[in-house]
Amino acid sequence: MKHITRRSFTSLTSKGLLGTALLGSIPFAKGFTPGQNNKKLGIALVGLGSYSTYQLAPSLQETDHCYLAGIVTGTKEKESVWKEKYNIPKKNIYNYENFDDIVNNDVIDVVYVVLPNSMHAEFCIRAAKAGKHVICEKPMAISVDECDAIINACNENGVKLAVGYRMQSDPYTHEVKKYVKEKTFDDVLFVSSDAGYVSNGNPDQWRLDKSLSGGGALMNMGVYAIQTSIYGAGQNPISVSAQEFSTRPEYFKDTDETITAQFKFANGAVAHMMTSHNANGNRLKVHGSKGWFELDPAHSYGPISGRTSNGNTIEFPFKKQQALQMDDFAKHLLLNTKNIAPGEMGKRDMIIVEAIYKSISEGGKEQPLALGNLGIVS
């Protein structure tokens, strides 16, 4: 296991990134001394489905500032498999019933909730009440009210909260934000964003069951298109209009199949997004008044690929986004760096999701959005 080195710690403090006042007020596992950086943070994954199994657990083997310390699962058989594979002590293994006992576990610093969307709020709130910092998978919850309940529980219990927005840690996203901020292609006029895939799996899966998913493509892939529309434009939208299309109603009985939406921004820029469970889409294109740039693929696990109207490619070395994301949150906790995917960002996206569904229910009527800078992290 790698440790945060004295050199990296010194470098961060010399850059003024260490806020000791804040560090003194947030809980950490016993044996950890805030400001000393003498250990990696222990993360417990809640829900051992495909994302935990194939992305988060392998990524935790590549993180510098955290490690897989525990698991919470409702499936008894998974306990021994994960125990063996990741050398997890029995005392760090929980089920959904005894999960609250995690309050007594000094090794777990962060609880990472990776369950179906409708279960996020319950488990994030239980984790906060147990005094654990929280990472909540996207979408943050299935309503704005639930997002507020998670944010309040974290504030009341003095713990930090991040949404599992892996793209916020990806260097390609930082590059997009830089182009927009520095006006590399002059003012952004139009953003186009697609996020979808073709679902042909088990019709009984939770993603097609509204009570568990909260909605279809919009809740699942749509949040990526919302996010890219926002960082492609460099600001929050002031209104949205949306349309829904269904071509396989026998399969998508309970959830949305394809949604398109148009955003307006205060400076006159517009964005168009498409999200689908019945069409592939993985692209962001941003048009400025002096050229354009594009990511395609734009939000898969990587490598991402990009190009510009100048004939240049946008290229960065590949590193697992999830490893970068979990390290970013650990550095926020350890070194008081910026929280680049705070709960407010997840809440903002859910406000937009609700406005999109409202617009659809009102025949595409434009919905005003009063977001200010909510969820914007620069």
Catalytic annotation, residues: 138, 224
48 close to 71: Cβ distance less than 8 angstroms: yes
Name residues contacting ligand NAD, limited to 191-210 (CB under 6 A).
206
User: How many helices (H) and strands (E) in the chain?
Assistant: 13, 15
Q: Which of 88, 369 has the CB closer to ligand NAD?
A: 88
Contact mark string toward ligand NAD, 145..174, x via CB under 6 A: -------------------x-x--------
Part of the chain binding ligand NAD (CB under 6 A), chosen from 57-65, 115-123, 179-187, 276-284: 115-123
- Of all residues in the chain, what percent are helix, strand and coil, respectively (each to 5)? 40, 20, 40
Within 8 A by CB and 6+ apart from 263, the residues are: 191, 229, 233, 237, 239, 240, 270, 271, 272, 273
Least spacing, CB of residue 219 vs ligand NAD, in Å:
8
| Phi, psi for 17 (deg, rounded to 5) | -95, 0
Q: Which of 73, 262 has the CB closer to ligand NAD?
A: 73
Q: Which of 130, 341 has the CB closer to ligand NAD?
A: 341
**Contact status: 275 vs ligand NAD (CB under 6 A):** no
Within 8 A by CB and 6+ apart from 162, the residues are: 134, 135, 136, 329, 332, 339, 340, 341, 342, 343
Least spacing, CB of residue 123 vs ligand NAD, in Å:
10
Q: Which of 27, 49 has the CB closer to ligand NAD?
A: 49
Q: Which of 75, 104 has the CB closer to ligand NAD?
A: 75
**Contact status: 116 vs ligand NAD (CB under 6 A):** yes
Question: What is each CA distance from 184 to 158, 231, 287, 293, in whole angstroms?
Answer: 40, 14, 11, 10
What angle do helix axes 321-335 and 6-14 make, rounded to 10 degrees?
70
Least spacing, CB of residue 264 vs ligand NAD, in Å:
28
Q: Which of 75, 289 has the CB closer to ligand NAD?
A: 75
Burial group, residue 204, by CB count within 10 angstroms (0-12, 13-18, 19+): exposed
**Contact status: 49 vs ligand NAD (CB under 6 A):** yes
Burial group, residue 83, by CB count within 10 angstroms (0-12, 13-18, 19+): middle
Cis peptide before 171 (omega within 30 of 0): no
Alpha-carbon distance 217 to 29, whole Å? 38
In sequence order, what are the beta bridge partners of 260? Answer: 243, 274
Cis peptide before 317 (omega within 30 of 0): no
**Contact status: 81 vs ligand NAD (CB under 6 A):** no
330 close to 28: Cβ distance less than 8 angstroms: no
Least spacing, CB of residue 290 vs ligand NAD, in Å:
33
42 close to 28: Cβ distance less than 8 angstroms: no
Q: Which of 50, 378 has the CB closer to ligand NAD?
A: 50
Within 8 A by CB and 6+ apart from 173, the residues are: 167, 231
Part of the chain binding ligand NAD (CB under 6 A), chosen from 14-22, 114-122, 140-148, 181-189: 114-122
**Contact status: 138 vs ligand NAD (CB under 6 A):** yes
**Contact status: 48 vs ligand NAD (CB under 6 A):** yes
Least spacing, CB of residue 334 vs ligand NAD, in Å:
22
Q: Which residue is nearest to ligand NAD (CB)?
A: 49
**Contact status: 320 vs ligand NAD (CB under 6 A):** no
Binding-site member from 60, 71, 115, 274 for ligand NAD (CB under 6 A): 115
Part of the chain binding ligand NAD (CB under 6 A), chosen from 8-16, 43-51, 121-129, 327-335: 43-51
Least spacing, CB of residue 167 vs ligand NAD, in Å:
8
Helices (H), 4-119: 6-14, 20-23, 50-51, 57-60, 76-86
Least spacing, CB of residue 144 vs ligand NAD, in Å:
17
Return residues touching ligand NAD (CB under 6 A).
47-52, 74-75, 114-117, 137-138, 164, 166, 206, 212, 220
